[in-house]
Amino acid sequence: MPLTDFDQIGVLTHVPTIYFYKPSQNWLTPKDTIFTTLKTSLGHILVHFYPLAGRLRWLDGARLELDCNGKGVQLVEAQCEANLDDLGDFTPSPNFHSLIPQINYYSPIEEIPLLCVQLTEFKCGGITVSFTISHAVVDGQSALHFISEWANLARGQPLETEPFLDRKLLGAEEPSTLSKSSFHHAQFDPPALLIGESSNENERKKETTTAMLKLSKIQVEMLKNEANMTRPSHISRGYTRYEAITGHIWRSACKARRHAHNQPTGMGICVDVRRRMQPPLPPKFFGNAIIDVIATSFSGDLIKNPLGYASSKIREAIDGVTSKYVNSVIDFLKNLEDFSRLQDIHALRSNQGPFYGNPNMGVISWIGLPLHGVDFGWGKEIFMAPGTHDCDGDSLILPGYDGDGSLVVALCLQAVCMEDFKKFFYEDIYN
C-alpha cells in the first residue's frame, strides 16, 4: 500500500497513550480472561484495520511503503506490584515507561510492529491498557478511531464505521497547476535557534520536567474573551479555544524562558486537512491527514502586545492551510529531485521529531478527539493520558475528564523554567 507524502514526512516513532481502569468486583469478564478478551477482539478488529498488522519498508532509500503482509501486532501482558493510587494524579512521568510497550528502533524497520499494546494488572486489581501506534502510518484521529472500534468489538458490539483505507485521495492535483514558487513551505525549515547559538544541541541536553495544568471552563472563557477583545482589526472571526490558549502558552513560555526582546520564536501547529480539502476527505480517512505549520514572531512582540496578537499569528498560520496550499505541499514533496531533500526532512524529523524546545513551542490539540469513554467490557477508564511527554516545548491540550468544559494542558519544559511558566500561566489569566 503506497503511503501518502504526508505519511512520508511524519515522525518515525510510535505515539503512546495509556488508559487507567479502577479495581472492580464486577468485571463483565472474569479477571483471568481480560487478556483473552483483548487478544480475541484485537484479532477481529485487525480484519478491518489490516494495514496496522503490516510493516513499513524503504523504497529507493528515502520513501516508505506499507507492506500489508499480516505479520501482526504485539500484545503484552504484565503484572505490577504497585497500586494505581501510587501514581498520584497520573501526571506523565518516567514511571509510565514500564506501563507502555517499548519499541526497539535499532531493529530494521521491516521488523518493527506498527502497533504494540500492553495490559498491566496492578496489585490492587486495577489495570492499564496502553497503546503505541506508528505515526508514520496514522494520525491521532485515525488511531482513536481504531481504539474506539476495537473497544466496541470487545464488548460484542458491531463496527460503527469502516475505516477509509484508500490513501490515493490525498494526492496532488494532476496535472499540477501550481507554481513551485507559489508558497514557502516553512514547516520544512529548521526551527529558530537561541540568539548566539549555531545549533540546538545544548538545549536538547537540559533537564526537563512535565506538568498537567488544568483550566476550568471559566478560565478557558476568560482567555478566549481576552484574546477576542484584543484581536487585531484584520482578524474578522472570533478566536477558537485552541487559538486563545495556544497564544497564552506561547507568551507564558517566552516569559518563563526570559528571552531577549529580539529572540525569534516559532510555534508548531498540527492542522487536520480532512475538511479543508476540496472535495473534503472522508471523515474516517485512515492515515496521516495532518500538516504541520509554523507561526513565527519575536518574543518581545508576543510579550509586550496583548493576547490577541499572539493568537493572530496562530490564526494566520492555520488559515494558510487551504486545499491549494495542501496540494502545493504534496507537489513540492513529489517533485523532490533524487529524494535528497526528502532525506534531509527525514533527518530533521528523525526518531526524535523536530525539536520545538527553547526558543520554540509545539502545541497539539486533542480537544475534539474521542479520547474518553473507552470501554472494553469492564467499564470506562478513570483516566487517560499521553504516555510519555519528555521533550522540551512539547505540549497537548486535552478535554477535561469530567466533561465540564475544562481543558488540560500537558506540558514539558526545561526544569528551570517550569515554576515560572506556571506562575505566568495562571496569573496572566486574571491580570
Name 299's Cβ contacts closer than 8 Å, sequence gap at least 6.
254, 257, 259, 260, 261, 262, 263, 264, 265, 359
Q: Is residue 375 flagged as an active site residue?
A: yes
Name 149's Cβ contacts closer than 8 Å, sequence gap at least 6.
45, 48, 49, 159, 160, 161
Residue given cell 479520547 in the structure block: 371
Q: CA-to-CA distance for 397 and 306, rounded, in angstroms?
A: 21
Q: CA-to-CA distance for 137 and 2, rounded, in angstroms?
A: 11
- H-helix segments, 12-113: 34-48
Residue given cell 458490539 in the structure block: 157
* DSSP state, residue 86: G
Give me the half-sphere count of Cα atoms (radius 13 Å) on the Cβ side of residue 204: 9
Return the C-alpha cell found at 202.
545544548
Spot the catalytic one: 67, 301, 344, 375: 375
Spot the catalytic one: 5, 7, 14, 135: 135
Q: Is residue 166 flagged as an active site residue?
A: no
Residue of 78, 89, 62, 69 whose CA lies nearest to 408: 89
- What positions carry a catalytic annotation? 135, 375
